[in-house]
Chains A and B, each alone.
Chain A
Amino acid sequence: MKDTHHTSLLSVQGLTVSFGASQVIKDLSFEVPLGKTVAVVGESGSGKSVTSLSIMRLADLNGATYDGGSIVLNPATRPTDLLTLQQDEARQIRGKDVAMIFQEPMTSLNPVYTIGDQIAEILMLHERVSRQDALTEAVRLLSLVRLPDAQGVINRYPHQLSGGMRQRVMIAMAVACRPKLLIADEPTTALDVTIQAQILDILRDLQAELGMSIIFITHDMGVVAEIADQVVVMWKGEKVEEGPVETIFATPRHPYTRSLLSAVPKLGAMTGQDYPLKSPLTVLVDGRPEQVGETRVQDTAQMAAAPLLSVRDLSVRFDLKKTWYGKVTHVCPAVTGASFDIHPGETLSLVGESGSGKSTIARAIMQLNSPSAGDIAFDGKPMSRMSLAERQKLRQEIQYIFQDPFASLDPRKTVGWSIAEPIRTHGLMDNDRNISRRIGELLERVGLPASVATRYPHQFSGGQRQRVCIARALASKPRLIIADEALSALDVSIQAQIINLFMDLQKDDGLAYLFVSHDMAVVEKMSHRVAVLYLGQIVEMGSRRQVFENTAHPYTRRLLSAVPHPDPTHRREPVRLEGEVPSTTRRIGDEPPAAIHREVSPGHMVASN
């Protein structure tokens, strides 16, 4: 036995787990010290979630088998090997000594029971208190996770709360019985950065207060740098590196860790640069790191040319409530008075939290939402004056790439068929031989072999599917591509490769991008200009350098301050970012006034109200 056992709460030794015939975790060992945070890092499929489910003994309920190893709780004092317990013994520990928070706060709570009932349930189970006492305790727990109006939240149902609030409820539920170990499985991945910052602060404070250990599962190196004491890096079901967080970031030894760290976009890394910069990547080829790509200044934007796309005073609103005879009484002003231009070869990023209206703008440009006011001009011609045929042509020249590469390809068609569809729809080619040659070219453009055209989407990984989606977007020879959170669902290493692909395509074809994102670091890396949206209005817009280096609007500063730095030696000061984005439902006649912008320096617009 190692001497670390004196200070360990949990000791995982030689853990091997499989689902059916496939081994998903091989010989994994690590220690969780008392009162410390261990980050388990890796990309999708690395086995990190199965590790946490195995500690909870939930993995076997979902069909996994433990082929070997042990997971010992309290190795020094009262050693219990969790793997040898019967399920009804494991239930005594689950939720009491070891608790867990899951990734998806939107689906983690049972929709048909109140928040109070769901928290009280665990207290009544493990602490054997009355329902009344449990509800009182639930109120206290909810104020502990800084939910305003805890007394009111008790009687509400999950669908009445936002994602950030639900995740706080989950945390309150997890710490209800003062667990010794809290497992947080990607608890902030689905949340906006400002909410993420709040959740991380809450977890840190609770850890100090309750003295619990935390296993934090994530793929986000920024979050790791911010919260972890120890880091375990997993790759293909195995631990490839382990150490104190400072060491891992300063001197990563394993090639995979090195490639992972090189792929992480760092906010502020572009300071002093006028243009986006394409930088080389460390990728693993047969397990060995290799540098690919060159350093290139992305000076593709033709700012002197006439704008390719002009959006003027665009407003989009959705009707929410009507009287019984159909008169609209409440609306959601999703976008109010947005104006911007995109020039050929330029990347304009729209950033903001969920509900800020960034996707609504993108969809209005794609003619998927109709504007309630304002106009959009392409190539100088306003959409409102276009004929049906011209509008159809616009659908060829503007292409859209969606967030979820799993959902945006037809699972029953080959990827070649999907890529050919825009070519056939717009009648660009009619000869089948030419079309299949073009499909091959497009696949090679996005870094896939031409031979994969006959395969089906399920045979590809997430990153490869997103490449297929890009190939499909390129098929109709567009001039503008709208990428709506196109990188958010991808692992960082894949994300970095796709960013470089976007930049190469822009360089070669002079493509313009409207890049919709909530990830400030990625935006900083690849944009020429940036527009920041808050509650449907552009609050700040300017060149990337202006917005990131001379930030003028308080909301932009707030967004930037919430981004975690992937550097454990410079941890973000716990800024008290409180509150949530307010409700956007407005009574008719009570819509927000359009923001008045002033120009603080040439091309740098800031809302003054």
Chain B
Amino acid sequence: MAGFLLKRLAQAVFVVMVVTLIVSVAVRMTGDPAMMIAQGATDITEADLERIREGLGLNEPFLSQYLATLSGLFTWDFGRSFLGGTPVSTLIGNALPATLLLAFTSLLVSIVISIPLGIRAAIRRGKWEDQLIRILSLVGLSFPNFWLATMLVLLFSITLQWLPPSGMNGIASFIMPAVTMGIILTATNVRLVRTSMLEVMQSQYIMVARAKGLSERTVLYKHALRNCAIPLITFLGLQFGGLLGGIVVVERVFNWPGMGSLAFDAVAGRDYPVLQSVIMILSTLIVLVNLLVDIAYGLIDPRIRTE
């Protein structure tokens, strides 16, 4: 297990390095930040632009700029924003907790709802409960998140005036963004739980557990659930990436002060240091979550632990 984790850790470092490299190269192909900063000034000369570039550190060799970005992961010094000069670490320090709170709330909500519903659908296979759950999950799956977010705001903030339409301010402000992100997650998770539960329930050891005289609840929650946890957490690990992707849109709609909003503004303003750092941190998070998934495998399944 220790050797396995070391190997995974080495892979994780490599992944973060490659992702950061790709982002650094790609962002430099989108245009010149000096032009962005100089926008509006009419009598700008090439010498002025050069001075701006010099000031931003863009005349350094690409490799040393890249390494500087990467070293931020260890020193927590990502340079300063091109726009306004705030240290990037301060921006991220404010945005990251907001995003993580929202992401984990959505994930938690989806797990809490989808596991019981998925199990219910599996044991009532073909009955009306199963049909209903499957139809509802398909409906949930079909909502585009930007549309759903807008509809929620229209209904609960503007018409009913129950919930704040934007910003992060207290528990109530979490409800709509978390529900928006949670619905799609829940819809896919319900289907996943249902399918893997159906498969596990066909196993011989479930028949054996029933033959022991165990109650149906013990059979389900002790013998079956742990065996369908493997595909479930694999999927949750993968979902986490998609979740952080979807967060850009949702944060935008609800004006959530998170990494998504930060990234959005950075792209618009060609703010290299902010964009690179945001993506590097998000990809590190995704890699770490998947590392945790690997550790969880070992805890859940002894066959993996002893290999």
Taking beta carbons and an 8 Å cutoff, which residues of A are in contact with B?
A: 56, 58, 61, 87-88, 91-96, 99-100, 102, 104, 107-114, 121-122, 125-126, 157, 159-160, 170, 173, 324
Contact = CB atoms under 8 A, between A and B. Distances in A.
A332 to B, nearest CB: 16
Contacts of A100: 211
Nearest to A61: B210
Interface string B222-261: 0100110000000000000000000000000000000000
B305 to A, nearest CB: 9
A91 B207 contact: no
Interface string B270-307: 00000000000000000000000000000011110010
A58 B210 contact: yes
B213 A126 contact: yes
B210 A107 contact: no
Contacts of A56: 211
A110 B209 contact: yes
Contacts of A104: 204
Contacts of A113: 223
21 contacts: A56-B211, A58-B211, A87-B216, A92-B213, A93-B213, A96-B213, A99-B211, A102-B204, A102-B207, A102-B211, A110-B208, A110-B223, A111-B301, A111-B302, A112-B226, A113-B223, A114-B302, A121-B212, A122-B213, A125-B212, A173-B212
Given A61-B210, A92-B213, 16 more contacts: A91-B215, A94-B211, A95-B213, A95-B214, A96-B213, A102-B204, A102-B211, A108-B208, A110-B223, A111-B227, A111-B302, A112-B302, A125-B212, A157-B302, A157-B303, A157-B306
A100 B209 CA distance: 11
A125 B217 CA distance: 13
Interface in B178-219: 203-205, 207-216
A170 B205 CA distance: 11
Contacts of A91: 213-215
B205 A107 contact: yes
Given A157-B303, A160-B306, A108 B213 contact: no
Contact of B213 (A110, A125, A160, A324): A125
Contacts of B226: 112
B31 interface: no
B207 A58 contact: yes
Contact of B204 (A96, A107, A157): A107
Contacts of A94: 210-213
B223 A95 contact: no
Interface residues of B, number: 22
A42 B179 CA distance: 57
B92 to A, nearest CB: 36
Contacts of A125: 212-214
Given A108-B204, A111-B227, A112-B226, A122 B303 contact: no
B208 A109 contact: yes
A88 B211 CA distance: 12
A122 B218 CA distance: 12
Contacts, number: 72
A110 B205 contact: yes
Contact of B214 (A111, A114, A121, A324): A121
A160 B300 CA distance: 16
B3 interface: yes
A64 to B, nearest CB: 13
A109 B211 contact: no
Nearest to A159: B303
Contacts of B212: 94-95, 121-122, 125, 173
A32 B59 CA distance: 92
Nearest to B212: A95
Contacts of A160: 306
A412 B154 CA distance: 51
Given A91-B213, A173-B212, A112 B306 contact: no
A173 B203 CA distance: 18
A184 to B, nearest CB: 12
A157 B210 CA distance: 20
B239 to A, nearest CB: 23
Nearest to B227: A112
Given A110-B227, A126-B213, A324 B205 contact: no
A159 to B, nearest CB: 5
A112 B209 contact: no
Contacts of B303: 111, 157, 159
A112 B297 CA distance: 11
A104 B207 CA distance: 11
A324 B7 CA distance: 10
A7 B132 CA distance: 53
Given A157-B303, A159-B302, A324-B3, A108 B210 contact: no
A330 to B, nearest CB: 13
B300 A112 contact: yes
Contacts of A108: 204-205, 208
